[in-house]
A and B are shown apart, each in its own frame.
Chain A
Amino acid sequence: MTAYLAKRLIIAALTLVLASMVVFAVMEVLPGDPARLMLGLNASADQVELLRNQMGLNAPLVLRYLHWAGGLLSLDFGRSYTYSVPVIDLVRERIAVSVPLALIALALSTIIAIPVGVFSASRQGRAGDTLAMGAAQIGVAVPNFWFALMLIYLFAVWLRLVPAGGFPGWGAGVWTALKSLILPAVALALPQAAILGRVARSALIEVLNEDYIRTARAKGLPYRAVLWRHALRNAMIPVLTILGLQFAFLLAGTIIIENVFYLPGLGRLIFQAITQRDLIVVESIVMLLVAAVILINLLVDFSYAIVDPRLRGRQ
């Protein structure tokens, strides 16, 4: 077990090094000058040059990379150009929004998708199944900002149950903070639930043809119990794969929802950092995202082993 873990960690480290080089090179090649962006139209050329020196942008490429990469090792991500604040603090605030939001959205999507998948699989080919899968189809294609705005006008403007947006911070009380994450999580959960539902259905249909389902029924278990106790767990592997992919996407791919609900999430920070050419922040966040994706994949692989004992032997 530990040998396997060690191997995965070494490979993860190599990947992170590869990612750091790639993102650093990309940021170097990207057009646009951070200093000019900060000083604006009226600043003179030499003022811009002065700022570039101050920010160390004119230092030789390799030196800057080593300095930045060295900092990463000691978890010192350096200071943001535009915010002039340590990147760690910036990112920590954003993670405090994006990670809970992603988890809630995933939980919602799973709670919706699994029962729909089970319902559809048990009525394969019949009316209920085609209806559910048709709805899932629409769920994928509906632009989620459209659905988000419907939610806002219904629950925030008309019913005033939840705030229209913004994030008061966990300091303002867990419930108040959670309340501001409910609508965005629902808006994110819809398309994900649609995709997850389809995958769960096809995985379940395959499992229902297996012999051990017949053995379970021969034991006298009603069909419903067989579905939930025996079939579902065997269909978890493809479902877990999709969940892993979705969690990685939900971390930083939700800029539209973050904008519509004006949430200080990771997605918006990356968007701002890229458009402001805040190199240090972009580079650090991409590294965090790569590390997150690697970690998520590791967790998904371990979850495979938890779900399916046959895979435990391999590790």
Chain B
Amino acid sequence: MRLWKTILAAAVLSLAAATSAFAARTDLTLGIVLEPPHLDPTAGAAAAIGEVTYANVFEGLTRIDDNGQVQPALAESWAVSDDGKAYTFKLHSGVKFHDGSAFSADDVKFSLDRARAKDSLNPQKQLFAHITDVTAVDPATVKVTLDGPQGSFLYDMGQVAAVIVAKGSADGNKDKPIGTGPFKLDHWAKGSEITLVKNPDYWGTAAALDKATFRIVPDVAAAVPALLSGDIQAFANMPAQDALAQIQSDPRFSVVIGSTEGETILSINNKKPPFDKLAVRQALASAIDRNAIIAAASNGLGKPIGSHFSPGDAGYVDLTGVYPHDIAKAKAYLKEAGLENGFSATIKLPPVPYARDGGQVIQSQLKEIGVDLQIIPVEWAEWLSQVFTNKDYDLTIVSHVEPNDIDIYSRPGYYFQYDNPKFNDVIKALGTTVDKDKRLELLGEAQKILAHDVPAVYLFELPKIGVWDAKLQGMWTNWPIEADDLTKVKWTD
């Protein structure tokens, strides 16, 4: 009898091994926290839109890879005129939209003109501000002329809002996205999941996955069990916070901590006394202990920053040493500003964990130098109208996730209400410089000005907590641009 049992066991084992060998999995379920309101990246600012569609469904002339470098996409190659004002793009041939219609230079012209039109509702309209003319030389070539050299033009054309859409399907993209990417929309059960399937006649190298489902998991507490139960196999950026340790110790999963473009800052209303005095801002910067905030509000993940720049990007200068955590110095600054026994102020916090938790840590840290903060939690709608539009606030905490956005401090009417001519000149120069090294030098200078002038106290860069099945490959480590690019993702075993 015993013999019979061993044979049976052996058979079962081999059967299991066999099945999994040649049929490597080709489907994937990812978890995302926020559901995109719609799927048209050229018509809405929500980061979740790009996260699902960028590089998967829609493609631009150029593409940003996981190191933040510009790569060719629909444009095979390009030539730049000497004065840097004219770009001629050579387009790939044989490219089709998901609805079968052919892709040509006309679509590029249509997309760029649509984005820069007077009545355009493109959320990143400023990317196209310098374009004066777009002409389709021939079906495979497009010439774009600018009003002046734009250092970041190729980078800008790789952004989420700069994807190329077809004239016929542009207006319907919100609900039925028609792009040129390796995946196309299969089904969207609102509030539940978005399913993409492989685009059979994709012009480039086909994707390894046949099916990818983005499942919406709004509650942090639900993310961990979803992963452990196998419902979800990957989170590009998992809101695991404290539960991370438990997952890191689990061999079934690999945990990859990367960086994002999210500069988390304590924004200050620079026109409102007493914050119009530099000394007061310096006092705040010195009183705040960045590492304590990271430990409490971001579970110890994310790098501290000294200026409005993401450590992952080229040109980063570490300025966290400008105002180190020093209570005595902070009190000295206050004394210098004539407020030695402190003052009271309000801090408005949007409904996100880094803000609601970070706010409490800052409140208790500033208490030590006599600054008494009253916390006012607000919804996004109220934050946008009270803080962003009406500048009715003292302090607030927000993370600016737009890539390459140090220029916001030079924008007139921006909610910081910060106006520094020296800084504005550096930004103007940066805008027109094409030479790489010169740009890096200018970026460094801009960072130094902000670090010393403290229009906002720079806290930390939002980490990207990547968690996925150990047998999965090809997921991005960092988020130079908020996107879950699945083109190179595949199961290994």
Contacts and interface: CB of A to CB of B under 8 A. Distances in A.
| Direct A/B contact, Cβ within 8 angstroms | yes
Interface of A: 30-34, 36-45, 47, 50-51, 54, 82-85, 90, 93-94, 145, 149, 152-153, 156-157, 160, 163-167, 169, 259-265, 268-269, 272, 275-277
Interface in B203-226: 215-219, 221-222, 225-226
B471 interface: no
A169 B125 contact: no
Interface string B399-443: 010100000000001000000000000000000000000000000
B192 A275 contact: no
Contacts of B225: 149, 152-153, 156-157, 164-165
A31 B385 contact: yes
Contact of B229 (A156, A260, A264): A156
B381 A31 contact: yes
B119 interface: yes
A94 B35 CA distance: 15
B314 interface: no
B226 A276 contact: no
Given A31-B385, A39-B123, A164 B221 contact: no
B121 interface: yes
Nearest to A271: B218
B119 A32 contact: no
Given A32-B379, A166-B193, A42 B402 contact: yes
Given A41-B400, A42-B125, 13 more contacts: A31-B381, A32-B379, A33-B385, A36-B388, A43-B45, A45-B413, A85-B38, A94-B191, A160-B229, A164-B226, A167-B189, A261-B222, A268-B218
B328 interface: no
Contacts of A264: 189-192, 216
B222 A276 contact: no
A84 B175 contact: yes
Contact of A169 (B44, B45, B175, B189): B189
A142 B381 CA distance: 32
Given A38-B45, A276-B37, A268 B175 contact: no
A268 B191 contact: yes
A31 B389 CA distance: 12
Contacts of B123: 39-40, 42-43
Given A164-B225, A264-B190, A259 B384 contact: no
Nearest to B46: A40
A166 to B, nearest CB: 6
A113 B342 CA distance: 59
B27 to A, nearest CB: 14
Interface in B351-391: 351, 379-382, 384-386, 388-389
Interface residues of B, number: 46
Nearest to A85: B175
Contacts of B192: 93, 166-167, 169, 262-264
B126 A262 contact: no
B271 interface: no
A47 B123 CA distance: 9
Given A42-B124, A160-B229, A164-B226, A37 B381 contact: yes
B189 A163 contact: no
A221 B319 CA distance: 88
B471 to A, nearest CB: 19
Contacts of A259: 218-219, 222
Contacts of B126: 42
Contacts of B125: 42-44, 47
Given A32-B381, A36-B388, A36-B389, A84 B226 contact: no
B79 interface: no
B174 interface: yes
Interface of B: 35, 37-38, 44-46, 119-121, 123-126, 174-175, 189-193, 215-219, 221-222, 225-226, 228-231, 351, 379-382, 384-386, 388-389, 400, 402, 413
A261 B223 CA distance: 10
B193 A33 contact: no
A153 B46 CA distance: 32
12 contacts: A30-B381, A31-B382, A37-B381, A42-B45, A85-B38, A93-B189, A157-B228, A164-B225, A165-B231, A262-B217, A262-B219, A276-B381
Nearest to B402: A42
Contacts of B386: 31
A82 B38 contact: yes
A54 to B, nearest CB: 8
B312 to A, nearest CB: 21
Given A83-B37, A160-B230, A166-B192, A50 B119 contact: yes
Contacts of B193: 166
Nearest to A54: B121
B382 A32 contact: yes
A197 to B, nearest CB: 28
Given A42-B45, A90-B190, A47 B222 contact: no
A167 B231 CA distance: 11
A145 B221 contact: yes
Contact of B37 (A51, A82, A164, A167): A82
Contacts of A83: 37-38, 190
Contacts of A45: 389, 413
A164 B222 contact: yes
Contacts of A94: 190-191
A41 B402 contact: yes
A157 B215 contact: no
Question: Looking at B126, B217, B351, which has the most chain A CB atoms within 10 Å of its CB?
Answer: B217
Contacts of A169: 189, 192
A253 to B, nearest CB: 16
A269 B381 contact: no
A33 B125 CA distance: 20
B221 A149 contact: yes
Contacts of B402: 41-42
A37 B174 CA distance: 16
A268 B386 CA distance: 25
A47 B161 CA distance: 15
Contacts of A37: 380-381, 384
B53 to A, nearest CB: 15
B171 to A, nearest CB: 10
Given A40-B123, A94-B191, A262-B216, A165 B384 contact: no
